[in-house]
């Protein structure tokens, strides 16, 4: 089981980040891989979406 944190989502989304290529591949892989019962092997903790949204709004406003 993987728990994605805010930084991983930001790196996977931000093409200017030096971590982008690896983060993008990792996030896509864990979001598209299921176990034998069809369950995802990743979770998104409840506190992650809020900072991610704030970060992306800030990034878009400063662009």
- Is 53's pLDDT higher than 80? no
Contact status, residue 48 vs residue 29, Cβ threshold 8 Å: no
Contact status, residue 22 vs residue 62, Cβ threshold 8 Å: no
**Interval 8-38: pLDDT, tens:** 888 998 899 999 999 999 999 988 888 889 8
pLDDT value, residue 61: 43
Total structural domains within the chain: 1
Domain that holds residue 39: 2-61
Strand spans (E) along the chain: 2-3, 42-43
Mean residue pLDDT across the chain: 78
- Length of the chain equals 63
- Is 43's pLDDT higher than 70? yes
pTM > 0.85: yes or no = no
* 28 Cβ neighbours under 8 A, 6+ residues apart: 12
- Is 57's pLDDT higher than 50? no
For the beta carbon of residue 12, count every other beta carbon within 10 angstroms: 21
């Amino acid at each position: 089981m993987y728990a994605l944190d805010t930084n991983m989502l930001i790196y996977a989304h931000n093409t200017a980040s030096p971590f982008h290529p690896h983060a993008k591949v990792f996030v896509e892989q864990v979001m598209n891989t299921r176990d034998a019962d069809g369950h995802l092997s990743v979770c998104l903790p409840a506190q992650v979406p809020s900072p991610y949204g704030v970060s992306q709004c800030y990034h878009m406003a400063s662009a």
